Amino acid sequence: MWLTRAVRPSLAVLIQIAIAFALCLGQEPSQRTQLPDAPPPPKLRPRPVTQEIDPGDVISVNTTEVLLPVTVRDQSGQIVIGLTPKDFRVFEDGVEQPLSDLSLRSVPVDVVLMVDTSSSVVGNLDDFRRAAIGFAEHLAPNDRLSLIQFDDRVRLLQDWTSNRVQFRRSLNRVVPGMFTRFNDAIVLAAHEQFEGTNTRRSIIILTDGIDSGRGDTFVAAVRAALEAQLTVYVVSNTEIERAKKETELSSLLSAPDSALRFNQLRIGDLKLGLAALDSSEQNLMDLTSATGGRFYKPGSFADLSRIYTEVASELSHQYAIYYAPTNKNRDGRFRRVKVQTTEPQYRISARAGYYLGK
């Protein structure tokens, strides 16, 4: 895996950059930079028209309405259920927004399961498959799934389906790869896989988040997720990888001086890898925070099934708040959103904002 080191922007800086992009008239998207031997920019295959879900099962969203998935937890971290519209207050750019009488409608969820099939995960794909099967079993019958793997390419292995047997079969098509086009995977899923859907939109990613530096930037990935109004959950294997590297580094550093001098290159490699994990971990936390999702850092791949089940439970207890913005100007700029409840001790997870298309 290629490791890249860069100054990590804070979450606030990331959103400010995204806002600046939206306000710069005539600005062209950033060009992808690639190594000379890099493959062509990835693209998900066109999706065929599917009739797996009856049109009446998908709730149509008025283009003037904002759908804001919100998770509420108490001080102990338990999900709070049973709230009503009068329990919520929503602010957009500091201005309180009126909530409709149907602000807590039941809305299906479309979930992309994404798996990083580069070297850091490849030995534990069976754990991922088991966790993914358990996750699917906990979703509602009209919720849909798709499956994407990414390494040096981004591949759509299963298009949208509510057929759990079909989804389980698609998991057998997950195969090992090299490198990690993490940023490209987020951008492509946001731009292509969710186009035209009117459901809640979520992505769950198993990854260490260390991009190979051959395509889109992390800032572009955050912007794409916010534009597509995604809730991003990350199951990060950074803690697992960190433990391996720290154990090896400790062993090398405790060796005699002659061995220490001989292993200087490897020691430097391990220190660089640990720094990359730290930076990636913070980026992943920023991404999940900005999109209203959660960041998980298991100590073992054996924890995957529990974590994926927990995410499925959260999705089934998410509040889907609708409101019509009082600012009707469709200027394409980023709008900051803040959600509060009448109980100050509750913790709210919701997107930092959204883009209103022109």
Residue 50 lies in a domain: no
The reply to whether 342 and 220 lie within a common domain is no
The whole-number pLDDT of residue 342 equals 93
Residue 27 lies in a domain: no
Q: Extract long-range pairs of 248-251: CB within 8 Å, 24+ residues apart.
A: 249/274
The reply to whether 154 and 227 lie within a common domain is yes
Q: Kindly give, in sequence order, each residue whose CB lies less than 8 Å from that of residue 161, ignoring residues fewer than 6 positions away.
A: 50, 52, 144, 145, 146, 167
The reply to whether 310 and 257 lie within a common domain is yes
What sign results for the dihedral spanned by CA atoms 215, 19, 334, 89?
positive
- pTM score over 0.75: yes
The reply to whether 281 and 331 lie within a common domain is no
The reply to whether 210 and 89 lie within a common domain is no
- Residue 60 CA to residue 198 CA, distance in Å, equals 6
Kind and range of the H or E run holding 202: strand 200-207
Encode the chain (358 residues) as per-residue pLDDT tens digits. Answer: 333 333 445 555 555 545 444 443 333 333 333 333 444 545 675 444 333 333 333 333 345 788 899 999 999 999 998 898 889 999 999 999 998 754 455 689 999 999 999 877 878 899 999 999 999 999 999 999 999 999 999 999 999 999 999 999 999 999 998 889 999 999 999 999 998 777 899 999 999 999 988 889 999 999 999 999 999 999 999 999 999 999 999 999 999 988 889 999 999 999 999 999 999 999 999 999 999 999 999 999 999 999 999 999 999 999 988 888 999 888 889 999 999 999 999 999 999 999 877 6
The reply to whether 209 and 305 lie within a common domain is yes
The whole-number pLDDT of residue 42 equals 54
DSSP 169-188: HHGGG----SS--HHHHHHH
Residue 20 lies in a domain: no
Name the token pair of 99. 């909530």
Amino acid type, 292: G
The whole-number pLDDT of residue 295 equals 97
The whole-number pLDDT of residue 104 equals 52
Supply the CATH number for residue 143's domain.
3.40.50.410
The whole-number pLDDT of residue 179 equals 86
- Residue 299 CA to residue 303 CA, distance in Å, equals 7
Q: Where in the sequence is the domain holding 323, given as residue range(s)?
A: 61-104+319-355
The reply to whether 312 and 329 lie within a common domain is no
| CA end-to-end span of the chain | 40
The whole-number pLDDT of residue 43 equals 64
- Residue 179 CA to residue 265 CA, distance in Å, equals 21
The reply to whether 211 and 323 lie within a common domain is no
Kind and range of the H or E run holding 41: none
The reply to whether 348 and 220 lie within a common domain is no
- CA 294 to centroid of chain Cα atoms: 9
The reply to whether 257 and 338 lie within a common domain is no
Residue 84's closest CA among 98, 101, 96?
Answer: 101
- Residue 108 CA to residue 144 CA, distance in Å, equals 8
